[in-house]
Chain A
Amino acid sequence: MSETLRRKTFDPGRERGGAVPKYYEVFARKNSDDSLSHVGSVEAPNDDLAQVRAWYIYDQHHWTEMCVVPTEAIIPVRLGKHSTRIKMA
């Protein structure tokens, strides 16, 4: 590689918002009769980028409402010996 070319670097702290990827869960509905449903998740370093990335990745419908929730804000509820699990993208 020529010395004049710069190698592309990845800085997790800067580009993910921390050493560990930060995820957001995405919920959306097509119309006011629908319930808000989980449609997927996105990785983003902050709330602004999470909203934009969710909007463009989950664009399969003309949603009337979309919300993102930091995965870390979700509190799993146990039922007996079972626990809820959030599937990561």
Chain B
Amino acid sequence: MSTPVATAEPAARTALQNDLLCVADTKLVLGNWFAECVMNGKSLPDFAAMLGMCTASYGQTRAIYHWLDTLDHSYGHLEHGRGRAEIRSMDLLDPAPENWQDFIVSTWLAEQATWSMASGFLRNPDRTVAGIARKIGEEAYFHLKYAAGWFRIIEASDEEGELLRASVTRRFPLALRWFGPLDAADDLHAAGLRDDPLPDIRAGFVGEVRSALKPFGVDATGVEATFEADWRPDARRTGPLPERLFEVIRFKDQEIAR
């Protein structure tokens, strides 16, 4: 059965798959962040929450891979066959967390950015895409609340607040970079495959970040992303995934992974 996406113009069809693969791969790396950092959780209930967010992130990744498999990709290749230059995760998650505050800020920014991007597909003509976007939103509610809970604890300490501000300074421009240059055309919105223009979605993301960081005295106004020569618009990232990170996130054994 053909879907609205399957019959879309080739450029728009490819652009939609690109953006969803960027969301899926970012969730793959984000899930691995939770898995790798779970033993840094602060208590047994915290371990459970981090593992829950890990599996939810993997679930979103796999749901998108399955949808891509119905179009121009192969599920097996997406999950097991790609090298580090083919992974399309957010630059923000390339550097490992430096401390607990940096972990909370980084995962929160990644979650907020991917949910903002996914929210642009809530009314997508392809019902599967709209359903995946809705599911990402439902799960983002808890993931963002987890960060909000930790923000309240961090806010109570001057020293921890300083570490949070340092993390925001490093990571927020990388989160903005994920949305691409401000003057880039949004072909997906023009083709009717994204509900709102990407600049509006980016502005919504910035608004959420500013609001959440207000108690910390962080003024995110005027922060802009920079783009290196090896910025890849179709991957929404710069260059290949770092080697060490790729070793963490890649499936080591196809048979065991089943």
Contact = CB atoms under 8 A, between A and B. Distances in A.
Interface in B179-237: none
A61 interface: no
A74 B53 CA distance: 30
Given A56-B52, A57-B45, A57-B48, A46 B142 contact: no
A24 to B, nearest CB: 10
Contact of A56 (B142, B152, B153, B157): B142
Contact of B45 (A14, A46, A53): A53
B152 A46 contact: yes
A81 to B, nearest CB: 35
A25 interface: no
B148 A56 contact: no
Interface in A31-62: 42-53, 55-57, 59
B49 A56 contact: yes
A65 interface: no
A42 B51 CA distance: 16
A1 to B, nearest CB: 17
B145 interface: yes
Contact of A14 (B48, B51, B157): B157
Interface string B38-52: 000011011011011
Contact of A52 (B42, B51, B145): B145
A55 B153 contact: no
A48 B49 contact: no
Interface size class of B (residues with CB under 8 A): 10 to 19
Contacts of B152: 46, 48
Contacts of B52: 55-56, 59
B45 A48 contact: no
A55 B144 CA distance: 13
A46 B49 contact: no
Contacts of B51: 56
Interface string B146-175: 101110110011000000000000000000
A48 B48 contact: no
Nearest to B55: A56
Contacts of B156: 14
Given A43-B43, A56-B53, A57-B45, A51 B157 contact: no
A44 B146 CA distance: 11
A50 B148 CA distance: 11
B255 to A, nearest CB: 28
Contacts of A50: 149
A48 B146 contact: yes
Contact of B43 (A15, A47, A48, A55): A15
Interface of B: 42-43, 45-46, 48-49, 51-53, 142, 145-146, 148-150, 152-153, 156-157
12 contacts: A10-B42, A15-B43, A45-B149, A48-B146, A48-B148, A49-B149, A49-B150, A51-B145, A52-B146, A52-B149, A53-B48, A59-B52
